[in-house]
Chain A
Amino acid sequence: MAETVTLEVQRYRPETEGEPTWERFEVPCQPEWMVLDVLNYVKDQVDGTLSYRWACRMGVCGSCGMTVNGEPALTCATYLRDLPRGPVRVAPLAHFPVIRDLVVDVTDFVDKLARVKPWIIRKEDKPLSEGEYLQTPDELERYKQLSMCINCALCYSACPIYPLEPEFVGPAAIALAQRYNLDNRDQGASEREEILSSQDGVWCCTFVGECSVVCPKHVDPAGAIQRHKVTSTIEWFKSALLPWRKR
């Protein structure tokens, strides 16, 4: 005796509709299913036009972010049994423009990630003869949590500031910048400072903290942003009170 779950999914077909609509499907399901399994069933067996993104189906690629029952979530990491009884409402990831059905445009997010220069920046590369860049476990621990980001953009979906101030660089980008700033192999903190300490950088954030609540990898971008506010402020006072100091 198969169980069924009611899927309420937001459809948006720009070639025929001006506004999104909701559609219901009764889907036979297994107890161990994720929301993604339900979507896949609908696409495979009921309506092949349902459009959505997914890839790894195990919570590491960051492709399947959507709004499930009003909260940003990875559909491949959300078990049906963890959701309250009743219809499962799946909508596109909030705060991003919807292209079709559950597919959103994340160009803005990707642009911002690139702008924070998320790579090791060296003033001078070590010559090969000097061997590898060494890093102790303690030094790794300083930024490791921040390196867990899978670029799923759930944090942008949870952040209320991002839709209100679209120029805001955003939680993941700032956390990623911090990941490199705190990496002892990196020497590029000053290059990232302009974007981080700009009006669209850390100062937009009012520590709502929702980004950290929804992050599937427990990166705590909110904490990373606050820590950068502290760093930035100390730097600001140093340069204001000691202008002759060489950076």
Chain B
Amino acid sequence: MVEYSNELDAVFGSLSDPTRRDILKRISKRSMSVGEIAAHYQLTFAAVSKHLEVLERARLVVKTRQGKTQIVSIAPKALAAANDYLEHYRQLWENRLGSLDKYLKLINKTRRRAGLSGQEGRK
């Protein structure tokens, strides 16, 4: 469990940077060489390599060697774990909106009991 949270922390740490998110988005469509990725950004090759290193440590990407070039591919497992986590955010809102529904039903019930119509409450 502890190991699992460390892994997730690494994933979220990686995702906290917009450039790294952008890299992930690009390579989720197709694998690319490091040079190809770097060409999309106004960053030095070294800076892009550094971002890729962080992504690799979080196991969000894997590098494979094809001759002289390194190919970067997405590693869906870690991303899926992060997605599972972010799913909580959707649930959080879903529950919150459900609570609002509950609250509105409750006050309107009380209001009707008190003999007030919904319209009178609209002043």
Partners in one complex: no
Chain B interface (Cβ within 8 Å of chain A)?
A: none
Chain A interface (Cβ within 8 Å of chain B)?
A: none
